[in-house]
Structure 1
Amino acid sequence: MHRRRNCFRLCERDVSTLRLTRNTNLKIINGFCTKPQESPKPPSYSYNHRVPLHKPTDWERKILIWSGRFKKEEEIPETISFEMLDAAKNKIRVKISYLMIALTVAGCIFMVIEGKKAVRRNESLTSMNLEKKARLREEAAMKAKAE
């Protein structure tokens, strides 16, 4: 308990020294510091709201056509905005992911069909491995006899 009081007194002393060292334009109200209100100043410079343009490469031109943004390469302007290029790239990403999903589903269906065909022919990985091992043993025995 005695230690807590000493700690509190030390903190209280530090806070009072902080108040004395603060800027004079800060007001101390009920122990809280607030800055004086300043009127907002209009910017001294004028900002031009032009979007930075980019000259597309041949690959980016193909992306713009594939995404459906332009029909022909002649329709693409000399400079385009980065936002237009990003939107075209995102469309292509989405189309590629849909294609990958479709190919994955088609591959799964194909493998299920092939597995069912193998079951009908009584083929399994175990039987195929046993046949392969028997064949390799026969070949090894034939080589041993030949020597």
Structure 2
Amino acid sequence: MPAVVLYYSTFQGSYFRFCERDAFSSLRLTRNSDLKRINGFCNKPQESPKPPTHIYSHRVPLHKPTDWEKKILIWSGRFKKEDEIPETVSFEMLDAAKNKVRVKISYVMIALTVAGCIFMVIEGKKGAKRHESLTSLNLEKKARLREEAAVKAKTE
């Protein structure tokens, strides 16, 4: 049963009838999700995508390492000597070597920090035995600067 909508026009005094197939066809089509007909586009058959012009091989892209990257590969333990390093290496191998070197450097930095802290604790304890403190050192320095300023004032 088609839905009929009536409009009253006061200018002409007559009724206009619009059937669903005429006025509301776009609404009917949106319900059916046929958007190409709503916009008035012609329905061309979809063209299949063109096959790629080049054939993709599953090879890993290679990179020629610089002298610095060769040193990193040696430091990471991947190769023993520079002669063993191939002419081209994969980016994954280079990234893994860089990460290994970063970890080694961070371990060295941690060890140096701990050693520095231990050294400062030992030096602080030695200074405490000699009754040295920052306060006493500052007071001595200020007293010496006052004396120098007084001597300078007398000579001028």
Superposition TM-score, scaled by structure 2 size: 0.68
Separation in 1, partners of 2:144, 2:29? 91
The 3 A distance-change label for structure 1 pair 17 and 104 is: farther
Match of 1:84 among 93, 103, 107: 93
How do residues 1-147 of structure 1 correspond to structure 2 at under 5 angstroms?
A: 19-20=30-31, 22-23=33-34, 44=51, 46-147=55-156
The 3 A distance-change label for structure 1 pair 19 and 110 is: same
Same amino acid, percent of matched pairs:
77
Separation in 2, partners of 1:65, 1:82? 16
Q: Report how far residue 17 of structure 1 moved.
A: 6.7
Query: Which contiguous aligned blocks of 4+ residues in structure 1 show a shift greater than 2 angstroms?
Result: 16-25, 43-47
Q: Report how far residue 114 of structure 1 moved.
A: 0.6
Question: Which residues of structure 2 form unaligned runs of 5+?
Answer: 1-26, 37-49
Residue identity matched to 1:22: S
Separation in 2, partners of 1:65, 1:96? 14
Q: Report how far residue 145 of structure 1 moved.
A: 1.0
Question: Which residues of structure 1 form unaligned runs of 5+?
Answer: 1-15, 26-42
Superposition TM-score, scaled by structure 1 size: 0.72
The 3 A distance-change label for structure 1 pair 90 and 112 is: same
SS at match of 2:146: helix
Q: CA RMSD in A?
A: 2.3
Separation in 2, partners of 1:129, 1:110? 23
Residue by residue, what CA displacement relative to the aligned partner does 1:19-63 show, whole Å, maximum 9, x if unpaired? 3472279xxxxxxxxxxxxxxxxx955531000000000000000
Higher helix share: 1
Q: Which has the higher contact order (CA 8 A, sep 6+)?
A: 1
